[in-house]
Homo-oligomer: A and B are copies of this chain.
């Protein structure tokens, strides 16, 4: 159907999946790299750096904001986006705790 049966899974599984989904696009990876490299944090500069249309970048930024990986500060008519380090670390811990649980005890 194209619709994920969210109700069949627990909230941890759904939360992790949502985080992974936000990260599951090369443009969003690139945006995060540009922001954290300080190459560009102003929306329009990111548009120039990456080369997708402005509405497309704006949409990607919105998705990154939706899980609070970045925050946008309004500076006059520009918006400066930066990494939300608190959430950033939280996400990293979450992923690592998922990965650390895997054991090699299979058949």
The interface of chain A, by Cβ under 8 A from chain B, is: 4-6, 8-9, 13-14, 16-18, 20-21, 23-30, 32-33, 35-38, 41, 50-52, 73, 75, 80-83, 85, 88, 91-92, 95-96, 98-99, 101-107
Contact = CB atoms under 8 A, between A and B. Distances in A.
Copy number of this protein in the oligomer?
Answer: 2
Contact of A8 (B32, B51, B96): B51
The secondary-structure label for the interface of chain A is: helix
B32 A9 contact: no
Given A85-B102, A91-B99, 13 more contacts: A4-B26, A8-B26, A8-B27, A8-B50, A9-B26, A13-B26, A17-B26, A20-B29, A37-B101, A41-B107, A73-B107, A80-B106, A81-B106
